[in-house]
Amino acid sequence: MTHTKRSKVKKLLSSSEEKSHVLLKGWVRTRRDSKGGFSFLEINDGSCMKNIQVILNHSDPCFLENDDKLTTGSCVAVEGRLVRSQGSGQAMEVQVEHLRVYGTADREKYPLQKKRHSFEFLREIAHLRPRTNTFGAVMRVRNRLAYSIHRFFQDRGFIYLHTPIITTSDCEGAGEMFQVTTLDLAQPPMNQGKVIYEEDFFGEKTHLTVSGQLEGEVYALAFSEIYTFGPTFRAENSNTSRHLAEFWMVEPEMAFCELDDNMDLAEEFVRFLFRDALEHCAEDLEFFDQRIYKGLIENHRQIVDCTFERVTYTDAIHILDKSNEPFVYNVEWGCNLQSEHERYLSEQYFRKPVIVYNYPEEIKPFYMKINEGGETVRAMDVLLPHLGEIIGGSQREDDYEILGNRMKKKDLKPENYSWYLDLRRYGSAPHSGFGLGFERLVQFVTGMENIRDVIPFPRTPKHAKF
């Protein structure tokens, strides 16, 4: 083979002119043989949803040498002429002049022979599922969203902060935690029935983080505006389509920012992400709209085009109370909003994204800023029609005394949070932030039903193999 530079399939397909010599490499998705003495291979290299068709002449030596090896799943390098396609399916195709098979895939054994497989089956072969249309599309969208998250914050001067994965704080029990230890589990050092954690690696009990928020606040009160974007862990023993044991979380934290500014940023952020996906993942979203979730694109356009409704928790409770909907969970002031309530608000009542704010103090964590009167805190949740809650956030309590008292009220020991309290002792400032579960976002944008299908290697109860 000559020293032609490899072109990606996406580039070849969008080429406006024919080319006498191109090189492409990728995996054979399908093969079709015609009676007229030609074989047609559909090649995909992950650069886009579409395959490129390459045509082999049965009298060509490169076909005769490789005929047996050209099966679904095999990996090939192809050199030839890029020409306008005679067929209707695509704009460009390649007439093969040279061909090399890098790796074969046994016709009898390669698991991805059929056109369509269930997502459950594909989860069993997490090492091969990236070679399917759906996973190609999911992962390209996921990649674009990660990029646009960074762009959104970087364009606004936020500092990207790497918060620790191993931690001793528990973010007031945001979720069940995984313990980190090097002690011998069969024979841990014990004293009067208790493990001596002084002998553990860090000299105290440590866990995998459930949130980077508290550490984020430290840096927001020095850099003004920061964001985290990293792995988070919850030992949730709930096998739902919305929970993973290991997931990625985005958490901006802003000094000099009160609840209204926080809601403004969250709204701008959500609209930015959906607009960017519509613009840059059009082909993949088209696929999801057709195959996974009808009306997806229209739904996204509405999110991008409208102003989000803002309603206090108290008003939301009134609306729900007056609705006469047969809710499974009763509505009364002080209760947590269930997803049926959230859906009613965004899908039926307001028919657009809704931000609910000022929640009862009782049902929210200690760090949220208390409103006058003491009954509610400055929390906010962003709810999307058909999708549900995408963001939760709050203004943080910045008063040293009030924060200490709220900790005690919630049975937390202030001495365990001395560094967090110090932030309120030295140069405290109003500040706010929110959290967005990255996989939930990918789920919303793609319409994928199960969160296990929007992360490369899902970690769930009894499942961490690959």
Cβ proximity to ligand ATP, 188 vs 360, nearer residue: 360
User: To the nearest whole angstrom, how small is the minimum distance from the Cβ of residue 161 to ligand ATP?
Assistant: 17
Q: Which two tokens stand for residue 133?
A: 């249309």
* Residue 361-390 contact track with ligand ATP, rule CB under 6 A, x = bound: ----------------------------x-
Does 139 sit near ligand ATP (CB under 6 A)? no
Does 175 sit near ligand ATP (CB under 6 A)? yes
Q: Whose CA is closest to 102, among 209, 175, 25? A: 25
Kindly tell me which residue out of 249, 255, 285, 370 binds ligand ATP, with binding defined by CB under 6 A.
Answer: 249
User: To the nearest whole angstrom, how small is the minimum distance from the Cβ of residue 125 to ligand ATP?
Assistant: 23
Does 254 sit near ligand ATP (CB under 6 A)? no
432 contacts 264 by C-beta, under 8 angstroms: no
In this chain, which stretch among 75-83, 99-107, 120-128, 243-251 interacts with ligand ATP, using CB under 6 A? 243-251
Could you give the CA distance from residue 436 to residue 252 in angstroms, rounded to a whole number? 9
DSSP category for residue 348: I
Q: Which two tokens stand for residue 167?
A: 């931690």
Does 253 sit near ligand ATP (CB under 6 A)? no
Does 392 sit near ligand ATP (CB under 6 A)? yes
In this chain, which stretch among 9-17, 43-51, 110-118, 237-245 interacts with ligand ATP, using CB under 6 A? 237-245
Kindly tell me which residue out of 23, 244, 296, 316 binds ligand ATP, with binding defined by CB under 6 A.
Answer: 244
Residue count, binding to ligand ATP (CB under 6 A): 16
Does 317 sit near ligand ATP (CB under 6 A)? no
Does 452 sit near ligand ATP (CB under 6 A)? no
| CA angle (228, 236, 245) in 5-degree steps | 50
User: To the nearest whole angstrom, how small is the minimum distance from the Cβ of residue 392 to ligand ATP?
Assistant: 4
Could you give the CA distance from residue 436 to residue 387 in angstroms, rounded to a whole number? 14
Does 174 sit near ligand ATP (CB under 6 A)? yes
- Max CA-CA distance within the chain? 86
Could you give the CA distance from residue 50 to residue 241 in angstroms, rounded to a whole number? 29
Instruction: Give start and end residues of each alpha helix (H) in 306-344.
Output: 313-322, 339-343
Q: Which two tokens stand for residue 451?
A: 């969160």
98 contacts 80 by C-beta, under 8 angstroms: yes
* R_g of the chain, CA atoms, integer Å: 27
311 contacts 356 by C-beta, under 8 angstroms: yes
Does 235 sit near ligand ATP (CB under 6 A)? no
Cα dihedral sign for 204, 210, 214, 216? positive
Kindly tell me which residue out of 435, 442, 445, 452 binds ligand ATP, with binding defined by CB under 6 A.
Answer: 435
Kindly tell me which residue out of 79, 93, 217, 439 binds ligand ATP, with binding defined by CB under 6 A.
Answer: 439
Binding site for ligand ATP (CB under 6 A): 174-175, 234, 236, 242-244, 247, 249, 389, 392, 435, 437, 439-440, 451
